[in-house]
Structure 1
Amino acid sequence: MHRSHRSHLGEVHLAEIQSLARGLKILDKLATAEDGVGITELAQYLDVDKSSASRLVQTLVNYGYAEQNDSSRKYQLGAQVIMLCRDYLNRIPLRDQARPFLQQLVDLTGEAAHLGVVTHGQAVIIDDVESPAMLRVDSGVGRFMLLHCTAIGKCLLAYHDLPLPDELEHRTERTIVDKQRLEQHLAEVRQQGYAFDDEENFDGVRCLAVPVYGYKGTLVGTIGISGPSIRMTLDRIPELVETLKDVADSFSAYLGYDTRKLKA
């Protein structure tokens, strides 16, 4: 007995949904793999054979959502993903609301300013304003920040309900790689009201970040500044912290938060 045409179409439809789901899972996998992912690992991750994994990832390559490293032959996210991220970020109201405050930070400190938020358990820069100085730090809109060794990341870890990363990558000699030490450090961040990256992510770069609150008193993100350590010297940090806190308070007030709660 022949199967009905409707039954056949239903099976095709389900197969298309399954392929789409697997394609999205590949994107999730590539997003968290710094060194790329090989076909064998992708096949195991998707629980499919290598030829199926190869066809799926090649479709993503064809549309620009993935690309293959010529030397390692591993796959990583493609440029089209960045374009989608930028289109999405451009539609976020918080980004537009933050821009004048970021510009004010740059005008007052001379350093690059940036806005970070949590998305899918990760810290991401959704806007930045460059420093006018020749020697400056580029944050990069759409860039994901390590949680344990960046000011933006540590601030979000301290004030947001985020789990500690499974692995604390050793970036510099100053990176905190012990979870107990990191938890103690985050308690200090909450107590002092700001996070400080003292050359923990990159040698020669220092960063500061403070929380920003919305009208309901919920954390909406963090704003911070970054600059070369030869300019962001340790004796300058207290002054920069006060400036950063003042601007963050103004931003929180603009969003409707009663900043008197911050003074209490």
Structure 2
Amino acid sequence: MSELDSGAEIDLPDADLDVAAAPGRELPRGVKPLLVLGKIREVLAAFSPERPELTIPEIRRATGLPPSTCQRIVANLVAEGFLDRSGDRYRIGLSLAYWAAPASTGLDVVQLLGPIVRQLRDDTGETSCVFRREGNLRVCVAMAETHHAVRREMHVGKLMPLHAGSASRVLLAWDDEAADIVLGGELARYTDFTITDAELLRIALAQTRKQGFAITSEERDAGAASVSAPVFDAQDRLVAAIGISGPTQRLTPQRCHDWTPRVQRAAREATRQLGGRST
């Protein structure tokens, strides 16, 4: 039996420590990783809202763990209440829900996402914002303003329509109830590029959900463009849209596409901060 399979700790060179940890959660220098914790995380991460119950072979395929290691870890997780078992199927233990409850108590989402918003601004040079739905509108709840002299006016608390702009597109694409309400009402025109036909907007929402982001130009304000992506919570529910916006002279169509991966990365980081699982 190997040291790894027996659960024994193996010393890693200092250079390997950062590789073994997720970004922002590196171990302090000189602290050795407990390798078994990584395996436990892999087993727990195999479960999702879409796949709440798994068999041992399914867990093994999802994690890539050796059969004996997977069997032993799962058995111990059941014994400790991290997993529950029914026949040959396993699911996340109900005890974890109790232990996880304090994580969301008093959680200030805006404060939590602040560093991500500022980093997105610094990386792209453009104003970055977080929008949440408020009835038939969206509201800016966090932002970091560009350092460019030419900028799009934006402030925390600003209310905007829920059918125009990339953040609106995101907030509707993953919220069927909101989409039905908005598409069933009047779609006001703000510029020549505002989508005012419900069927065309429905098609645009489907495309947004398929690709995982939205890019719009001059839908709400002439001369302004934006890129946005969705942020989810631990229950895979849409929480907000995060993105960048600015004048079209800088955010050209090509530039918007260039910045899209960075916006999506910020959305994944925000989702992880809220306990969600990014894809």
Structure 1 length-normalised TM? 0.62
1:132 is the counterpart of 2:151:
no
1:92 Cα offset (Å): 7.6
Choose from 182, 186, 193 the match for 1:164: 182
- Report if aligned partners of 1:170, 1:176 keep a CA contact under 8 Å in 2: yes
Choose from 136, 139, 142 the match for 2:157: 142
| Equivalent residue number for residue 242 of structure 1 | 261
Choose from 203, 208, 213 the match for 1:184: 203
- Report if aligned partners of 1:172, 1:202 keep a CA contact under 8 Å in 2: yes
Equivalent pairs, count: 170
| Equivalent residue number for residue 205 of structure 1 | 224
The residue type paired with residue 236 of structure 2 is G
Q: Secondary structure at the match of 1:157?
A: helix
Alpha-carbon separation, structure 1, partners of 2:193 and 2:153? 21
| Equivalent residue number for residue 123 of structure 1 | 138
**CA-based RMSD:** 1.5
Alpha-carbon separation, structure 2, partners of 1:145 and 1:157? 13
Partner deviation per Cα, 1:62-98 (whole Å, 9 max, x = no partner): xxxxxxxxxxxxxxxxxxxxxxxxxxxxx98111011
1:102 is the counterpart of 2:117:
yes
Cα 1:148–1:121 change in 2 (3 A) is closer
Alpha-carbon separation, structure 1, partners of 2:273 and 2:215? 25
Alpha-carbon separation, structure 2, partners of 1:173 and 1:120? 25
Q: Percent identity?
A: 29
| Equivalent residue number for residue 127 of structure 2 | 112
Alpha-carbon separation, structure 2, partners of 1:134 and 1:103? 18
1:197 Cα offset (Å): 2.0
Any runs of at least 4 consecutive aligned residues in structure 1 with deviations exceeding 2 A, and if so which? 119-122
- Report if aligned partners of 2:171, 2:240 keep a CA contact under 8 Å in 1: yes
- Report if aligned partners of 1:123, 1:147 keep a CA contact under 8 Å in 2: yes
Alpha-carbon separation, structure 2, partners of 1:175 and 1:121? 16
- Report if aligned partners of 2:132, 2:139 keep a CA contact under 8 Å in 1: yes
The residue type paired with residue 266 of structure 2 is V
Partner deviation per Cα, 1:18-49 (whole Å, 9 max, x = no partner): xxxxxxxxxxxxxxxxxxxxxxxxxxxxxxxx
For structure 1, which runs of at least 5 residues remain unmatched after alignment?
A: 1-90
The residue type paired with residue 146 of structure 2 is S
- Report if aligned partners of 1:115, 1:223 keep a CA contact under 8 Å in 2: yes
1:122 Cα offset (Å): 2.6
- Report if aligned partners of 1:210, 1:222 keep a CA contact under 8 Å in 2: yes
Alpha-carbon separation, structure 2, partners of 1:196 and 1:139? 18
Cα 1:92–1:152 change in 2 (3 A) is farther
1:101 Cα offset (Å): 0.5
Cα 1:215–1:157 change in 2 (3 A) is same
